[in-house]
Structure 1
Amino acid sequence: MKITYDPRYNIAYIYLQEKTMQVNTIQVSQEMNVDVGLDGKIYGIELLNANQQLGSLEQGKLVVVNEALGESAEIRLSL
């Protein structure tokens, strides 16, 4: 899994798996799109207005936690 963030446009994309085929984009809301392959698998999630979506507007960071290993990493989100 990979997460990208573009502060210029405040958009995040969560890559759940590599796109190996054509995907259809489903608009879930005005701020979220989901890419679904013809095989029914979700390949990625696009978050518009990402700071607000990720709850980081005040904190300015995204924290990724690996519960199994007890490890975490912080990614600074800035506009």
Structure 2
Amino acid sequence: MELSYDPRHNIAYLRLRATAAEVETLRVSDEMNIDIAPDGTIYGIELLNANTQLSGDQGRLVLVDKESGKRQEMRLPAA
């Protein structure tokens, strides 16, 4: 899994699978698209206006491993 962020366009992409030859993009809302792989699984999730959507914790993206309890934080650009 990989989370990438493009500050120039303010887009985040959460890729859940390593590869997909082609994907079908479903527009969920004005700020979210979901890419579906040919086998019907979710390949990735695109967040438009990402800094607003991901900055719910005082401007930080917080990743938490629920099993180990390990937390990792990353600052996001201001909305």
Q: Verify same fold: TM over 0.5.
A: yes
Which residue does the alignment assign to 1:8? Answer: 8
Aligned-residue CA RMSD in angstroms? 1.5
Residues matched between the structures, number: 78
Give the structure with the larger strand fraction: 1
Q: In structure 2, what is the equivalent of residue 76 of structure 1?
A: 75
Question: Do the aligned partners of residues 58 and 39 (structure 1) sit closer, same or farther apart at CA in structure 2, a change above 3 Å counting?
Answer: closer
Q: How does 1:1-79 map to 2 (within 5 A)?
A: 1-54=1-54, 56=55, 59-79=58-78
Structure 1 segments (4+ residues) deviating >2 Å: none
Shift of 1:53: 1.4
- Does the 8 Å contact 2:20/2:43 carry over to 1? no
> What runs of 5+ residues in structure 2 fail to find an aligned partner?
none
Overall identity of the aligned pairs, in %: 54
Structure 1: state its 5+ residue gaps. Answer: none
Q: TM-score of the superposition, structure 1-length normalised?
A: 0.89
